[in-house]
Amino acid sequence: MIGGYSNPDGTRTHFGALLLGQYESDGALRYTDKVGTGFNQETLRKIHAMLSDRAQNSSPFRKPARENPLLTKACISCGQSWVCKVRFTEWTDSGGIRQPSFLGLVENADPRECIYDGPGLPCASRGQCPGKHY
């Protein structure tokens, strides 16, 4: 679920990265990570136009247990309206995603169906418990 974006750096235009989240069982939106690769110029332009129309001052993400510099820097929140598909290699121990790459927007998807299933969940909520959770 796309909850915001960061400003571009260097030669990048439109935005730097998308800020991603998934809903926890209590309905709070958990920040899972950012994705900054997998975009071409047209995708950057199109997504930025969609997101900038929904820019807001308050973050849609639950406040993290420890300070996250990315969420406290000049990042733009855009509410909770768009779902995207992201490929990543694995979950980090802290519940982030490693080596994410943007694959595309998911049309007509309900953001509430983006449920957190990373590390830190009880085994019962994952269906089975084969050791480390990814």
**pLDDT tens digit sequence for 98-107:** 999 999 999 8
The phi and psi torsions of 37 (rounded to 5 degrees) equal -120, 160
The superfamily (CATH) of domain 2-126 is Nucleic acid-binding proteins (2.40.50.140)
Tokens of 102: 């943007």
Tokens of 97: 């995603």
pLDDT (tens digit, 9 = 90+) per residue, 61-97? 887 656 665 565 556 777 667 899 999 999 988 888 9
Q: Are 45 and 5 in contact (CB under 8 A)?
A: no
Kind and range of the H or E run holding 61: none
Kind and range of the H or E run holding 82: strand 75-82
Q: What is the dihedral of CA 29, 35, 40, 42, to 10 degrees?
A: 20
Give the pTM: 0.81
- The stretch 52-67 carries a mean pLDDT of 75
- Please state which of the ranges 39-43, 95-99, 105-109, 127-131 shows the lowest mean pLDDT: 127-131
